[in-house]
Structure 1
Amino acid sequence: MRYVSVAVAAAGVLLAAGAVTYSAVAGDDGPGVRPPSADSADAGFARDMAVHHQQAVEMSYVVRDRTTDADVRRLAYDIAQTQANQRGMLLGWLDLWGLPKVSSKPPMTWMGMGRMPAGEDGALMPGMATDTEMRKLGSLNGRQAEVFYLQLMTAHHKGGIHMAEGCAARCTVGAEKRLAQGMVDAQQSEIDLMAGMLKERGAAPRP
């Protein structure tokens, strides 16, 4: 199977959201509207998804150096670039809103979820790889690295979709809600793509 980039759709979301970055400060409702509060879903999603995205970027750069497969390297590059750009946008909105990038509350509190169970080995949010899994990815090469990356990223995307759907339902800033929905659509497309790539390699997503 030849990999066809799905980053084009994601790029459109980024351009649309970037065009209204300033209006996002005012919740898309014009001047005089108060920006989101530090405890809002808008701020919580921006903080948590920035952390979630950072790990996806790290995983993608790791596998890029562990395989010569053109399709996996292209997918990893697209994921790294798209999520790095989205991460910058989310952190930029926090700056524009005058809100901290770190919260004293556990991740996912804005979705009504508490701290991840003890012993999750560095996995701060649903779908995130553990520290042990990240070390394992960095120790593999070739086909083994490809399969493990595709499995980890599939789980990572599923967790990201869960968070993005939460923002689409709970956030109040129009630009952020649109970005979140764009994440849902793009990452689901990549999950479908990765399922095919895993099948080609005699593997499947992890249960």
Structure 2
Amino acid sequence: MFSVLSPARFKVLLAGLVVALVLGGVALFGAQRTVSAAVPDEASADAGFSRDMQVHHTQAVEMSMIAWDRSDDLDVKTIAYDMATAQQAQIGHMSTWLENWDLGQSSSLEPMAWMNGDMETDEDPSMTPDSGHGDGVDGHEGMSDTTDSATGAATGAAAGAGMPGLASEEDLARLRTLTGVEGDRLFLTLMIAHHRGGVMMAQAALGEASNDTVKDFAQKQVIAQQADIEAMEEMLTARQ
């Protein structure tokens, strides 16, 4: 006998399917050497995006594995596992691009130096994280908080300074301590903000990068992460 999927479960599985399709496309491109006449250089948006998005993805994998380990909610565990596996694989693809371009995995350039202008997204109000869920997640205005407003102490990972959507070290520490619906809500809140930041970076890469592989990946990331955001917003609403 077939069980009937709940709307929430269907949304989670659909988001996972979108990510899987995107990942398949990225793997196809990532397995090939760049054939563009101009190979990205050290200061290019292509290289900067590839490095910074690996850092951004690394935190998403960390948060997802925390949620997968601590949650008892099947939908939360499913979407966390899907995001962790997909983004870990994408880290490998971006690392391979840099190797193919004969560039290092790290750079002396400041994080996000590849972006021209600011990261305002007036056209799409969904890029502004919703702070009205009552989970005590303050200061997430789509940008990583690297200093505490009261003490001036560093709170974010130095490698991710200035990246949009990163959770603070305090948020990560709190996520590791919570279980049940409270932990699920915090994970979803942090990951929605994190994904919105990832979408902002991908949209910037679409305008700044020159390599077709990078631009194709960025476009697919926008589609996949927006699908995840929609699923997580519905999940968060259902868990209030």
**What's the TM-score once normalised by structure 1's chain length?**
0.88
Q: 1:18 aligns with which of 5, 11, 27?
A: 27
Distance 1:73 1:116 in 2: 25
Aligned length: 197
Deviation for aligned residue 1:19: 2.2
Distance 1:24 1:168 in 2: 20
- Residue 57 in structure 1 maps to residue 86 in structure 2: no
Distance 2:220 2:233 in 1: 20
**What's the TM-score once normalised by structure 2's chain length?**
0.77
- Residue 82 in structure 1 maps to residue 86 in structure 2: yes
Same amino acid, percent of matched pairs: 39
Deviation for aligned residue 1:173: 1.1
Distance 1:47 1:138 in 2: 26
Deviation for aligned residue 1:187: 0.6
Distance 1:13 1:201 in 2: 28
More helix by share: 1
Distance 2:191 2:238 in 1: 16
Distance 1:22 1:138 in 2: 35
Distance 1:22 1:81 in 2: 18
Structure 2, gaps ≥5 residues long: 1-7, 119-142, 148-153
1:108 alignment counterpart: 112
Q: Comparing 11-20 with 124-133, which one deviates more in the overlay?
A: 11-20
- Residue 127 in structure 1 maps to residue 135 in structure 2: no
What residue identity is the alignment partner of 2:180? G
What residue identity is the alignment partner of 1:47? R
Deviations along 1:148-192, one digit per CA (max 9) or x if unpaired, are 000000000010000000111111111111111111011111111
Spell out the pairing of 1:63-78 with structure 2 (5 A cutoff).
63-78=67-82
2:219 alignment counterpart: 181
Distance 2:32 2:145 in 1: 38
Deviation for aligned residue 1:132: 0.8
**Which secondary structure state, in structure 2, belongs to the residue aligned with residue 87 of structure 1?**
helix
Structure 1, gaps ≥5 residues long: 28-32, 203-207
Give the conservation status (yes or no) of the 8 Å contact 1:17–1:176: no
- RMSD (CA atoms): 1.9
